[in-house]
Amino acid sequence: MKNQKYVWNIVLVLAITVIALYFALKDNFNTIVHAILSMNILSLLVVLFWGALFTIVWGFVYVVLGRKYIPKYSIKDGIAVAFVGSFFAGITPSSTGGQFGQVYIMKKQGIKVSDSASILWADFIIYQTTMMIYVTILFILRYAYYRSQSGWFRIIFLGYLINLAVIIVLYTIALFPKVYIRLTGKLAKFMGRFKFIKDPDHIVDSWTIQVTQFTKEAKALSQDKRRIILCTFINLVRLTLLYSLPFAIALALHIQIPMSKLLDVIALSSFVIIANSFIPIPGASGGTEVVFTLLFRGLMGSLTGAVMILWRFSTYHVVVFIGAFIFIIMRSYYDRQAKKEVS
């Protein structure tokens, strides 16, 4: 049943992608196709596998965090966890499946489920914090200018506020867990009184366990300064690779864009990611393509569609395909190992 759900999610992504491609190509089909087909083969390969590169960089975060539990945790194991996470996040609504796939792989690699949860919490906290600091700096530097250029920046700002709220809530939960537990208890009882929820006591107990676990992990992480610094640096490299990709694509397509515009491209890319972070569709399909086209049209002109197509394939389709391939290979390997142990 679960596999069938994944299949339908993939079909949904493909359908929305086709629709998005139609709208991206319909006005400048010949120009866009000609620009892509005219690319140097080496440039095309670099662009398409750029997304794989920043996913590989992400894998080093898991190497740093995983070695807390397995001192000889390998680079290839960390990279595999990153790609499997990207695969399941890419085919499930709001990226909800990524962590389950990663826990499965880490368990097979010899990391306990509880320790896997700790690694994922640490990765999430460090990544979200690094991203929000990065994007906040970009907002301060470039937001006023782009706000004057497009009315769509209200949506961007909404996405920014949602992500900022997530970070604030996470840190206040870590600092004041008892306050949140009490508030949840009162809210659950209030909603239970009006039959909005069936079992308020169960919800309070579940939330208490989650808050307690999260607080424990946050405190443990805060004492591990070396890992925080290493993971923050890795995430800065990862985010810079992700945000600068449209600039590399523009150069590969021979779009006349000066180096002075690199910061603008990085800022716009970060705004696209922020705006789409709350779209509840697998891979944020549809919304990503639309927002990218709207924001980059002023810089990329008639070839915006070509840049968007290559950017989307690199950051999503190629990464999801590689992640699926790695997951299938690893699952097959671990299944064979299990059969050998039984026999």
According to the model, what pLDDT value does residue 275 have? 72
pTM for the model stands at 0.85
Residue 181 CA to chain centroid, in angstroms? 29
pLDDT at 302 over 80: yes
Q: Compute the mean pLDDT over every residue in the chain, rounded to the nearest whole number.
A: 82
pLDDT at 283 over 50: no
Percent of the chain past pLDDT 70, that is, above it, reads 83
Half-sphere exposure of 324 (CA within 13 A, CB side): 12
pLDDT at 175 over 90: no
Half-sphere exposure of 286 (CA within 13 A, CB side): 12
Closest CA to 297 of 104, 13, 19, 28: 28
**Least confidently predicted of 12-26, 93-107, 161-175:** 12-26
SS3 label, residue 55: helix
According to the model, what pLDDT value does residue 282 have? 52
**Least confidently predicted of 75-79, 146-150, 309-313:** 146-150
Q: Which domain holds residue 276?
A: 2-342
Question: What is the number of structural domains in the chain?
Answer: 1
Longest distance between any two alpha carbons in the chain, whole Å: 69
Question: How many whole angstroms separate alpha carbon 44 and alpha carbon 252?
Answer: 8
According to the model, what pLDDT value does residue 252 have? 92
pLDDT at 1 over 50: no
**Least confidently predicted of 165-169, 252-256, 288-292:** 288-292
Residue 124 CA to chain centroid, in angstroms? 10
Question: How many whole angstroms separate alpha carbon 134 and alpha carbon 143?
Answer: 13
pLDDT at 198 over 80: no
Of 182-191, 207-216, 236-245, give the range with the top mean pLDDT: 236-245
pLDDT digits (tens, 9 = 90+) for 49-76: 998 999 999 999 999 999 999 999 999 9
